[in-house]
Amino acid sequence: MIEAELKARVHAPEAVMRELEHLASARVEVYRDTYYDLPDGSLDTRDQELRVRTVRGTDDTRTILTFKDAKVDEVSGSKPEHETRVDDAEAVHAMLKGLGYVPVIAFEKRCRNYEFERAGRSMLATLVRVPEVDGTFIEVETLVDEDDVHSALDDVRATIQSLGISLGDLTRERYTDAVAARRGPASPN
């Protein structure tokens, strides 16, 4: 499946949150993301991502291992995504390191997730704050087959606009890059 996703800066987070609350109840979670690569940076060179995400919610904590392949849409950066839930985060970190992967960067995201139907699609809208990055962002995504990416992205754009966000606020800025720039040449954590 392809994650047809767009991200935008949010200038009025409270107003957007009110709009989202009309569509669904919020699921408030904190993500702890650790991105891995091979020592030569070859995953990044191939536009691939390997991530371990531990999600702490009000009711549970879960860990997800994710591999994202190279983007299939240059404008949005949408990528094929493969995820699986894992039982033991520390074991997965140890396995990846044992296979030669190194943690490149780790950081926290504070998220409010809203799941709803729009344009006949299951959508996930997430309001995101990364403590090390200025501002609030929204990510809106839906999972689709590769031949449906462009139509799905049109529906995602329409959803973003319906929340009062201008398409001029769309961004391809990656949290990993923003956090790394903020930290400078420091450690991955």
pLDDT in tens, the chain (189 residues): 899 999 999 999 999 999 999 999 999 999 999 999 999 999 999 999 999 999 999 999 999 999 999 999 988 999 999 999 999 999 999 999 999 999 999 999 999 999 999 999 999 999 999 999 999 999 999 999 999 999 999 999 999 999 999 999 999 999 999 999 999 975 567
User: What is the rounded radius of gyration, in angstroms, for the C-alpha atoms of the chain?
Assistant: 17
* Residue 123: per-residue pLDDT: 98
- The DSSP code for 181 is H
Phi/psi for 43 (5° steps) reads -65, -45
Q: How far apart are CA 163 and CA 81, in angstroms?
A: 26
Task: Give pLDDT, residue 111.
Answer: 98
Q: Which long-range contacts (CB under 8 A, 24 or more apart) does 71-75 make?
A: 71/47, 72/2, 72/146, 72/149, 73/4, 73/149, 73/150, 73/153, 75/153
pLDDT at residue 99, as a whole number? 98
User: Do the Cβ atoms of 118 and 159 come closer than 8 Å?
Assistant: yes
Give the pTM.
0.93
